[in-house]
Amino acid sequence: MSATTLPVTRRTTLGLEVLAWGLGLGLLGDLLLRATPWGANFSVWICALMAAGVWLVRRYRLPASSDFPWLVISVVLCAIAFVRRDSATLQRIDVATLVGLLSLTAVAAQGGRVRMRGASAYIAATCLACAHAWFGAPRLVFVDIPWKEIQEAGRWRKLSAIAIGLVIAVPLLVVFGGLFVAADATFESLVDSVHLDVPTLASHVFLTGAIGCLAVGALRGASMGVAETSGVGERAVSPALRFTSTATALGALDLLFLVFVALQIRWLFGGMAVITATTGLTIAEYARRGFFELVTASALVLPVLLVADWATLRESPRERSAFRALAGLLVAMVGVLLVSALQRMLLYVGTFGLTEQRLYTTAFMVWLGGVFGWFAWTVLRGQRPRFAFGALVHGIAVLGVLHLANPDAVIARVNTSKETNIPLDASYLAGTLSADAVPVLLDALSHLPPAERFAVAQRLQQRWGTVDRPDWRSWNWSAARARNLVRSRIRELIAVPAPPSGPLAR
């Protein structure tokens, strides 16, 4: 067979198509993602990335597992949810969730099963996907694609020759074009009419290249990677730690938690009188002190128990039962810690109102409580492979509830409720919270105190009443709704009187 008719291998063709898709996604990213803040543009680009991945899976018949379809749907729904809410905090959580889901989708595209994998496989898959995204493009270009093979293939020879010719022609065109500009005024005016903005062109080239490299790396990892790599943690050999050592450590932790929980139970059921008499702290000081430490301690227990379950050698039914008892007691103590932390949070919210940090921390506690319950139901009953997937599903469910509940609207509703005596921070509610809170603030405007009503009205006018419509790429449903609502009631907002000042205000 002659060199001009050598066929290009399937892997080479796949690599070239990944490169082409990456370039296309880079150009699309430069067109869409240049506009900020991100809105519909980000959702469209993520959907385009998933479309490219699905195309490669179907075209090259990659050994995608049965988890691939529902993971693709989850990514698309998460991307669409990004444009539904305007909360920056919620969008950051969406982006983090997308990274995890895209990582698992890459594993599923390679034939890996997601449902019965350990937590270490999820962590490894995310780390590998990030590594592929950052470093996959150079590897694809310089290692995976055999350019010599392409040059020897008949149908690619002309294309490669054209590409080489263009590379040679560019500097020649610059040199001779410069000479012709200097030689003839008419030609100079023709070149000037093009209005070539070199800095702008350079920024477009840079952004296209950066986004394209990330897309190429992600697609390469999904289509040309190896699913088994993400399971490296699962294949690690247990150190077979003797049960006595683990029981001693868990017993010491149980004792420490029991002492602490004994105090917490007294405060939980004794009311504020017991708290004040015992600690000498006010409600605010008690609620604020130690809250995040309790949440952190509760979260740290989970990896401790997972490592203990993996590393401990249990040779008899008695040892297995004892381990479950020690671990189960620690889980129960963590439950009390979470209840105590939640009680402190409710006290603090009842006194000072709800904020993003307080709401999302509460949501994290809800997720953590569910994960510990799932741990007890699976790991402690000898069904460890089911744990990680259940924790993931529970996390996605909590995120879905947050989207349905609309966090910023909940914050505004709690803080402006007629039934509470919470000090109203108008600058936070109308100046910091996103467009998601605007409908609630407009509905509550009539029963707000005069000073707060005026401050809220002024903030809403400044943020949503006078701002021009953004670039369509930054379109967000909630922000568009907020602008329409404020503009429809702009006269009412302008008519809100300023509060009296000076001695007459007393």
Sign of CA dihedral 134, 136, 138, 139: positive
d(CA 506, CA 498) in angstroms, rounded, equals 15
Question: The tokens 């009539």 sit on which residue?
Answer: 446
Amino acid letter, residue 139: R
pLDDT band of residue 503 (cuts 50, 70, 90) is very low
- What is the average pLDDT across 223-242? 74
Give the residue, 221 or 154, on which the prediction is more confident: 221
Alpha-carbon distances, residue 353 vs 94, 130, 193, 410 (angstroms): 25, 39, 60, 11
> Do residues 457 and 438 make contact, with C-beta atoms less than 8 angstroms apart?
no
Burial class (CB in 10 A: 0-12, 13-18, 19+), 89: middle
Q: Is the pLDDT of residue 93 over 90?
A: yes
**From CA 453, how far away is CA 437, in angstroms rounded?**
15
Could you tell me the pLDDT band of residue 504, with boundaries at 50, 70 and 90? very low
Distance of CA 80 to the CA centre of its chain: 13
Q: For the chain, report the end-to-end CA distance as a whole number of angstroms.
A: 99
pLDDT, position 390: 94
The per-residue pLDDT for 212 is 94
What's residue 151's pLDDT? 64
- pLDDT at position 4 is 42
> Would you place residue 55 in the very low, low, confident or very high pLDDT band (cuts 50, 70, 90)?
very high
Mean pLDDT within 457-467? 87
Q: Check residue 467 and give its pLDDT.
A: 63
What b/e readout covers 411-424, taking b as 16+ CB neighbours within 10 angstroms?
A: bbbbbbeeeeebeb
178 band by pLDDT with thresholds 50, 70 and 90: confident
- Give mean pLDDT, residues 24-37: 92
Other Cβ atoms closer than 10 A to 475: 16
Which pLDDT band, with edges at 50, 70 and 90, does 118 fall under? Answer: confident
Over 90: is that where the pLDDT of 156 sits? no
Whether residue 234 is predicted with pLDDT greater than 90 in this model: the reply is no
Give the mean model confidence (pLDDT) for residues 145-172: 71
What pLDDT score does 132 carry?
92
Q: Give the pLDDT of residue 10.
A: 84
Q: Indicate if the pLDDT at residue 2 is higher than 60.
A: no
Residue 312: in which H helix or E strand, if any? strand 312-313
For residues 235 and 117, is the Cβ–Cβ distance under 8 A? no
pTM of the shown model: 0.85
Cβ neighbourhood burial of 343 (10 Å; 0-12, 13-18, 19+): middle
Taking only the tens place, the pLDDT of each residue in 312-333 is 988 889 999 999 999 999 999 9
pLDDT band at 371 (very low <50, low <70, confident <90, very high): very high
| Residue type (1 letter), 337 | L
Calculate the CA 401 to chain-centre distance.
15
Residues 193 and 54: their CA atoms lie apart, in Å, by 43
Q: Is 241 helix (H, G, I), strand (E, B) or coil?
A: strand
Residues with Cβ within 8 Å of residue 441, at least 6 apart in sequence: 412, 416, 429, 430, 456, 460
Percent of the chain with pLDDT over 70: 86
Lowest mean pLDDT among 59-73, 133-147, 358-372: 133-147
| CA angle (242, 243, 247) in 5-degree steps | 130
Given pLDDT bands bounded at 50, 70 and 90, which one contains residue 72? Answer: very high
Each as own residue / partner, the long-range contacts of residues 282-288 (CB below 8 Å, 24 or more positions apart, any chain) are 283/347, 283/351, 284/348, 284/351, 284/352, 286/344, 286/347, 287/344, 287/345, 287/347, 287/348, 287/351, 288/344, 288/348
- Whether 392 has a pLDDT exceeding 70, the answer reads yes
Radius of gyration of the chain (CA): 30
Identify any residues that bridge with 313 across adjacent strands, giving them in sequence order.
242
Is the pLDDT at 506 greater than 50, yes or no?
no
Please tell me the number of Cα atoms within 13 Å of 131 on its side-chain side.
Answer: 9
The letter for the amino acid at 177 is G
In sequence order, the β-bridge partners of residue 349 are: none
Beta bridge partner(s), residue 241: 312
Average pLDDT, the chain: 85
Closest residue by Cα to residue 263 from 333, 328, 327, 330: 333
pLDDT of residue 1: 39
Q: Is the pLDDT of residue 147 over 60?
A: yes
Mean local confidence (pLDDT), 71-87 = 94
| CA–CA distance, 238 with 248 (Å, rounded to integer) | 19
Mean pLDDT of 27-37: 92
Which pLDDT does position 3 carry in this prediction? 41
In this prediction, residues 102-117 reach a mean pLDDT of: 90
The mean pLDDT of 333-355, rounded to a whole number, is 84
Q: What is the pLDDT of residues 285-316, one digit of tens each?
A: 665 666 777 888 888 999 999 999 999 988 88
